[in-house]
Homo-oligomer: A and B are copies of this chain.
């Protein structure tokens, strides 16, 4: 069987079982009292260090799959590579710390492009207190960039697996902007009608949402220190990411379409598609979190830009997410997002 037949989740399940079940004996982390507290399957792994909890995650982009040089200039690519990793740390409620950069590069890569890439990386790294401390550089027929990052949390990180029936589901910002920006740029050739229909203000909002996502580090810290136990970042689309969170927690969820926060400029640019973009567009890098209504009511006002309650956690088939439309009808919500191998 090929991995495209098994699908991304199937492959992940298979490999996770392998690395967890075939692990033998105590590892050196445990020997040194760096005990693993979060294993495979969350936004980051985590272990205790005595002083704090350390976080560890990695994220990769491949040319032609995750970006093209047309949709993402090198400078923005550098920003985004770090942003997606910092966002995973933010989802745990932690602060990002040390990063390693792996570059796969064709020999004909321009040095000037590489300098641009690193300018973008340095901007966001300095903004979030990340130090790039090493990496690896290899020849490759296509460009790929892997960032591995550590983070730190003073206490217990937020997890995907701790949602409870009756929790409300909320998000920390507008959804679908990045997906709208990508669609705009992919559709904006000289023959495209779309590029003439969209206002420059909307186009600018959408492009910058796609190219300069802002990881929600401050929001994650506030949530985690205010009693929210359950969170993840929205990187593959709200519906699919909520489905992953539900799968980890062994529960279902329902999203109320009318409550999904969409920026007016996204609505203006995509009047018929904004909801699909908000539910299924990826790379928004804001936080999705769940909490009982009383916690939610207390926590949301503490966030600098608030948060929108978009749904609720239910008993039911693990990972099942449905969308309730404005007319009260209900349809399956997940499965429209990104499967790497299908």
A: residues with CB less than 8 A from B are 1-4, 6, 8, 11-12, 14-15, 18-19, 22-29, 31-34, 36, 38-42, 44-45, 47, 49-52, 54, 56-62, 64-66, 95-98, 100, 102, 104-105, 107-112, 114-115, 118-119, 121-122, 125-126, 128-142, 144, 146, 148, 150-152, 154, 340-342
> Which B residues lie within 8 Å of A112 (CB)?
1
Which of B6, B50, B58, B104 contacts A136, CB < 8 Å? Answer: B58
Q: Are B129 and A98 in contact (CB under 8 A)?
A: no
Beyond the given A1-B110, A38-B133, A40-B132, please list 12 additional residue pairs across the A-B interface where CB-CB is below 8 A.
A28-B95, A58-B100, A58-B136, A59-B136, A60-B136, A62-B138, A66-B138, A102-B146, A104-B144, A105-B341, A140-B142, A144-B144
If over half of A's interface residues share one DSSP class (helix, strand or loop), that class is named, otherwise mixed; here it is: mixed
CB-defined A-B contacts under 8 Å, sample of 6: A23-B125, A28-B152, A58-B134, A58-B146, A61-B138, A139-B341
> Which B residues lie within 8 Å of A150 (CB)?
29, 56, 150
Q: Are B96 and A28 in contact (CB under 8 A)?
A: yes
> Which B residues lie within 8 Å of A111 (CB)?
1-3, 6, 11, 14
> Which B residues lie within 8 Å of A122 (CB)?
18-19, 22-23
> Which B residues lie within 8 Å of A60 (CB)?
102, 104, 136, 138, 146
Q: Are A100 and B62 in contact (CB under 8 A)?
A: no
> Which B residues lie within 8 Å of A2 (CB)?
107-111
Closest CB of chain B to A62's CB: distance in Å?
Answer: 5
Q: Are B134 and A40 in contact (CB under 8 A)?
A: yes
> Which B residues lie within 8 Å of A342 (CB)?
107
Closest CB of chain B to A123's CB: distance in Å?
Answer: 9
Closest CB of chain B to A266's CB: distance in Å?
Answer: 27
Give Cα A118–Cα B11 distance, bound, in whole angstroms.
12
Give Cα A22–Cα B132 distance, bound, in whole angstroms.
10
> Which B residues lie within 8 Å of A39 (CB)?
133-134
